[in-house]
Structures are given as C-alpha cells and as structure tokens.
Structure 1
C-alpha cells in the first residue's frame, strides 16, 4: 500500500458499490494510495441484494412459465412444477458467482485498504470510522441509497417486505400487496404471480412505470391484467395497514376518495430509494438537497477535493450510470487539468419484466413538455419473422425523431431481449445519428433487432 506524506491516502472512497469500486481500481492502478470504506456488504446493493439476485429469480420464473406453456411447440409440459428452495439456491449461486464475496481479498491483493464501518466527515480531508480517523487528499462519496418507506399508518407495526427480504423468501406468498408500480414493483409482481401469488399493485401515479413512455406503462398494465390477472389500483394511496386474522389488511383510497379494504399475506414496499447522505457532509462543506448530493458535470461536489457518484447523486439510480460516473470522477481526480464531463443524452433504461421494457433518451411526454417538435412511429413486434417463429403476439418498438432532421431523439422497446436491443439505439442517439442511417444498416434475419430497422424506415417516410 502506497502512502502519502501529508495524508494517509491519496484517495478514500466511501462505498464499495459500482459508484465507488470502479474509481478505486482505476486510481490504484494509476499509482495512487487508495482506501475504500464499506458500512455493509462488499460490492454494494446490486450484486448482493438487488440487480443480480432479482434477475436470477426472474430467469427461473421465465423458464418455468415457458415450460408450462410449451405444449404449442409439441413439448409435454403439463406436469411441470417447481421447488422454491431450489430456486432460491440457484439465486444464491448466481450471487456467489459475481465474486463480490471475494471483494476484500481482491482489494487487498491490489493494495487497496478495505476499512469496515460507517464513515463520518469531520472536515474536508478527514473522516472517522468508529474511533479511528483517516485522512485523504481526495474523497469519492459513493454511499448509494436507502429505501424510501412511505409514512403509512400501522405499516411499521404490521410489518412489510422490501426487495432485500423478498429475494430470500423460502416460498412465494399466497397473496401480496405491492406498494409502488415502478420497475421493482413490476418485476416482483410478475415474478411472484408466475409462482402462484395473487398480486395487487397500488400506486399514486396515473399508470405503471410512470417515469417511462406512456405507451410502456399502458402496455405492461394491460399485460398484467389480461395475462396474469394482476389487480392494479392506480392513482390510489394506502391510508392504513393493520393485522387482522393472521393477515395484513390495507385500506386503499382512490382519487375519488372511495375506500377499499384488501387482506393479503404480505406487503412489499417498492417506492424507490433516496440518497444516503447522513455522513457529516456539513462538516466537509458538501451541499446536498432532498437526499441528493450536489455535483457539477465533472462529479465534483461543492468541496473541490470531494467527488460523488452513484445513487447518492442521481439523476439516475442505475448500476451502469454509477459505473460511468465513477470513471468520470476517477479521471478528474487524477487529471484535474484535463477534466471530462458527464453526458446523459443516451442512458439506457431496462425493466426486466417479460417481455422486457427498454428505453433510451427522452420520452414522448418529456418532448412535449420541452416543446420539442418531433415525429414518432410505433411498430408492433409482430411485423418481424422472429416474433412468428417464437409465437410472440405482443410488443412494440417506438421511435422518436426530430421532425425536421430525422435525428433520433428517444426510443422505447417492449420485446423479448429488449434490454439487449436498446443498445443499438443508444449508440445511434449518442452519436446524433438519423433514423435513415439505422434503416439503411443491414440487420440479420430473423432477429428481434429487425423491428428497429423497420421502425426507423417507417419514420423516414412519415
């Protein structure tokens, strides 16, 4: 471990998730002395209790659902069953294979000092962890986020699940109320419904996936209601929760003020996260507002030697944006005279329902709000051969382009493998490409990505 004469370290990273670990490795390889402070699990939320375990469970659910519906392909799947403890074991294996449990060993081999505990700033160059004190020339704050639990009467007393607990259930609940209709709520709704849970989603927003394009929310709500018999209560709030007869009873109120009472076995809170900022930022001169640390385009906070990245910063709470911000911060810490800035024009967003919902760039409603003139097409996924060979009758590719130039602005995909497909459009938007350029690019037949070419060709002619 390399030591700095004036400070204990050149760089101290607070948080070992994507927002912190990337910068720690980059700085260490460049010759800086680096320490990383972690209050919880090495690797952070995503590989341990977030993205990785949920996607492993969703993969199992997708296989089970496909097997149950395989008779149309000549497969005898009528008696297919599942063993949920074995599914959980598969999830645990997927988490283990990410290698995060080896994180401390990897850091040590590289010469990065791992410090366990909660960091607290005492001035811009020093933090305490327990009774110990550590100093650094620069800091990167990557503390992540904490779950936002709504202040519902009786909720704490009655008890509830978050996704942290939901991934470790030994069996699916018989019935489940999900408070929150965003990405997490929708993924768990489909997951548990496939394994036999009766699900009811409640959200104050006017539609599911409210931050995504309006067509995405309408599409997934229709799918949930028709194919999965999921009950959806939009523009509704939960006024009260109480225990009743061994179950949990929720009083739901709609926008007209009418009340409905439902009883379920479990409640899942999926109302998002807020940045984790209670680390003495005031002592360091770092400004934050509404649980979000203020940074400039270079990921620098209001204290010039302190940077921040990840969920505690925003504007997105994705692992891939945290990784991106961490790279930017590392560069700017090491090369203050050759800073690079962030560019969020083309950030892919993926929701791992079946089919997947993926998007990039502004939504149609955002273009309207900004008074940007645009043209659009919405092509059903059934126009391509791959949908026929896979017997898929639902899904779409929606393209938004500048009304005059044809430059691509945004896109939304609802399709099998939509999360993979979106990167073609991400690259196109990042490089200011026109729909014509994508339409004139040869796409292999029969692939799902053909739908992108068809949509771009159609918007050219509009």
Structure 2
C-alpha cells in the first residue's frame, strides 16, 4: 500500500475516518478486483468486513492506470482509424489532426474513469456490511492489522477471523542508469493525468503485452516508435504464428522492433532522450526520441506483508481455493503472481470469499479457463491449452481453424487478418483450448473459455446457432469443420 499517486481518484469524506470497530470477520487489504469483489460477496452474505485501500476508491491499478483507461484510449483511436479505413474505400479521408485524436482519447479515458469511480462510491454504500477505509494497512500478524491514515492523524489496530490479501502489483524498475527519465502507465493513462500531448517519437523498453499494446495504439497516430526487447522475440510465451501476425502489423505501422537488445542507460539532452543498448553482437548502440516508455512488466507488491509468512519468491503462494499455507489467510489478484489480469483477480476474490463464507475450502478457481487478450490490431487472445502446449504436453489432439478473411463480420469491419484455432482432445472431442488472432478476438475467446470450463465437446459448439452476421460465426465454422458424423 503506497499512498503516493500523481492524482488521487474521487473519494468520500467518510472514507478517511478511522475504522468504526475493533473486530471484523474478514480484513481485506487492497481495493482492486482481488479485494472488493470478495468484499461485496461477504457483505451480501451478512459477513462483516473491512476493506482498506490507500487510493480511497475501488478498482485498483486496473481502473487507475491499467486496463480500463488504456482500453478506453485504444478503442477511441481504433474506432476513429476504423472509420477512416472503411471510408477510404473510395478515396482518402482526413478526419482530424493526430494531436486532436490523442487528446479526445485521453478525454474519453478521463470520463470513463470518473463515472466508474462514482459508481464504486455508490456500490460501497450499497454494501452495508462492508466498511471501506482510505488508509495504509500494515499487518502485524495473522488477522491483526494496523490501519493508519495517509496524513498520520490517526492509527488503529483491528482484528478479524480471516484475511484476504489483495495488495496488487507495481511496475518493475530495472537497474538501468537514467530509468527515472522514463514514463510508465501512470503517466500515460493514470487518473486525471498531466500527460496530454502526444510526442513525435518514442522508444518503448519492453516487448511484452504492455509495450506492444502501447506501440499498437500510438503508432496508428503516425508517430515514430522503436521497441527494445532484450529477449529473442517480442511477446515471449505467445504462439509463434500469433506473434508474427502482430509483428507484421506493427511494421506496417512503421514500428521498429529490435530484439536481443539490452538497455544499459538513458540520458536526457534538451527535450530529447537517448537510450543506449547492447545488441546481440555485443555492440553498444543508441536511439534518440522525444519520450521513453518503460514497459518491462509488473511484480507482486509484498512489501507490507512479508512478516505474515505467506510470501515466497516475492509473491503469495495459494492453492486453487485461494488459501495460503496459513488456513485463515486468503489472497487474490496480482499479488499471487499467476494471471495479472483483472478478470482473473475477480474470480479469485469471489472464490476466496465463498470459501470464507462456507468456512471451509469448498470452491476452486479453474485457471485453465481464464482467457488472456493482447489489445493490439489485430487483437490476440488465448485460453486453455495452445497448440504448442498440447504438443509439449503430449496430449493427442487436433487443431481446427477458420480464417477470418472469409468471415462476414470481419469483411464488414474491413479487418480480414487472422484466424480462429480450437484445440480439441482427440479421444473425448472436448475443447481444451483456443487461440484467436483478429477482429474482436477479446470477445470471441470468452465462448471458447466457457467451453473449456464446462468440458464442452466441439460438437456442442457446432450445434449452436451463432448470430449472423457476428464475429462469433467464426467459432461456428471452425467447430463444424471438426465435427465427425
């Protein structure tokens, strides 16, 4: 719990008061998806809970600087560019200046964040068994926490029967000389950010999903971008075919990708910044740009909870019930170091709360059915076992696919790149995974995730009439191609 932000989100005066009680059935630390969804479940079941968060509102990093604002910016730019692309069928169209598009995207992001923060304040008051406190939480031992106001005006110790730890994650800060000259997600997408003018050129350090998403969005506004990735390829761990599709589109948008590039230092010269790196041959090279974005990932935030005995290798270790090795302590969200995704945190938090309510480990999270999407153009999404993983695991399987160039919706949206791949276990014909590259992959993947979760057969999908013309027909076509009568 850091208590330091460029701009604090909206809050309510009552949230800054000290806890009203000494004992709560559950103490929740962290107001992101891993915390407040569990808190709502506990409150709805008449279980008293206190939720402590230093931002003074719910949503965690996802709403403050992560998935919500970044996707609001991404979709604003995407829709404007999509309109230009479709309209340009009969000649070039000039919709607006690049700077105007960026500023409108930031304004839209601000609006979305604002209405969601106001919504969360309302939701807190709607859950009468949940007390929310804007403060810093410092665990003393299992189920005992010191709660302190941000300004130090009060301090109080509260006790409980259970704890739910959801302290989230923080950006990784590599030991690079001059790293303080870079900006990150808080500057780009943070609530009420001061960073509202687009630069002409960027260097992005890190070719994971955060860096690639930033490059994909900004490059569509005709900026000069270079990605520096220290590994042999960008998007490490993703399907090679999917990565090649993304690289192809990035290069079409004039994004320069340099892999096997280890950044050593960053220097500022006037209004520009120079990044020095060592390439695969061992030669030191440099790139100068107007701005440098640090996007090398995030790590679980465990600084205030190390004394509880549940942290191993800088993360909290949990079982599928979301329980730590201390039975009365549960954890959810980025701090467990599994899927650093809001929707994963929500399910983890919900399952933890259900098990606290049941007073025994009854419910489990099916991590295999959690979908992952990289919001680039085209989008890339995955769930369950990928084709490459099936081979590695020795699972007898078949991969059925359908190319989106023949899909009606993809044609309407003028985005015919990509494909749908469904991984099917040969013996049972169960769907065990899926991989999608293309228009609305973030939407399509949810149906495959449901199929993985409920052990659906490929024929179950093939028998479902998918609405026409929607992108979901692509799953139908792939499934029908696999069905054996």
Q: Same fold (TM over 0.5)?
A: yes
Equivalent-residue separation in structure 2 for 1:188 and 1:368 (angstroms): 32
| Unmatched segments (≥5 aa) in structure 1 | 1-5
Partner of 2:76: 60
Do the aligned partners of 2:201 and 2:289 also contact (CA within 8 Å) in 1? yes
Do the aligned partners of 1:67 and 1:80 also contact (CA within 8 Å) in 2? no
How many residue pairs get aligned? The number is: 451
Partner of 1:216: 242
Aligned 1:45-444 pairs, distance under 5 A = 45-74=61-90, 77-82=93-98, 83=100, 84-98=102-116, 100-101=117-118, 103-104=120-121, 106-111=123-128, 112-130=130-148, 131-156=155-180, 159-167=181-189, 168=193, 169-225=195-251, 227-282=252-307, 284=308, 286-337=309-360, 339-444=362-467
CA, structure 1 residues 337+91, in 2 after alignment: closer, same or farther (shift >3 Å)?
A: closer
Do the aligned partners of 1:209 and 1:216 also contact (CA within 8 Å) in 2? no
Partner of 1:3: none
Equivalent-residue separation in structure 2 for 1:201 and 1:394 (angstroms): 23
Equivalent-residue separation in structure 1 for 2:169 and 2:449 (angstroms): 26
C-alpha deviation, 1:268, in angstroms: 0.9
Q: Deviations over 1:132-183 (max 9, x none)?
A: 2111111110111111122112223xx1111111123211121111112222
Equivalent-residue separation in structure 1 for 2:105 and 2:399 (angstroms): 42
Equivalent-residue separation in structure 1 for 2:95 and 2:33 (angstroms): 42
Do the aligned partners of 1:139 and 1:307 also contact (CA within 8 Å) in 2? yes
Do the aligned partners of 2:27 and 2:143 also contact (CA within 8 Å) in 1? no
Q: TM-score scaled by structure 2?
A: 0.87
CA, structure 1 residues 453+86, in 2 after alignment: closer, same or farther (shift >3 Å)?
A: closer
- Matched residue SS, 1:376: strand
Partner of 2:32: 17
C-alpha deviation, 1:401, in angstroms: 1.9
| Unmatched segments (≥5 aa) in structure 2 | 1-20, 149-154
Q: Deviations over 1:307-361 (max 9, x none)?
A: 1111101310111111101111111111124621221121111122222211111
Q: Runs ≥4 in structure 1, deviation > 4 angstroms?
A: 73-76
Equivalent-residue separation in structure 2 for 1:95 and 1:118 (angstroms): 23
Equivalent-residue separation in structure 1 for 2:76 and 2:205 (angstroms): 24
C-alpha deviation, 1:41, in angstroms: 4.5
Equivalent-residue separation in structure 1 for 2:433 and 2:460 (angstroms): 15
C-alpha deviation, 1:417, in angstroms: 1.3
C-alpha deviation, 1:280, in angstroms: 3.5
Do the aligned partners of 1:39 and 1:118 also contact (CA within 8 Å) in 2? yes
Q: TM-score scaled by structure 1?
A: 0.91
Q: Deviations over 1:357-404 (max 9, x none)?
A: 111112233223322232224432112233333333311112222234
Do the aligned partners of 1:70 and 1:76 also contact (CA within 8 Å) in 2? no
Equivalent-residue separation in structure 1 for 2:121 and 2:414 (angstroms): 47
Q: Deviations over 1:205-251 (max 9, x none)?
A: 333222322221111011111x2010111232212212234311112
Stretch moving more, 436-445 or 318-327: 436-445
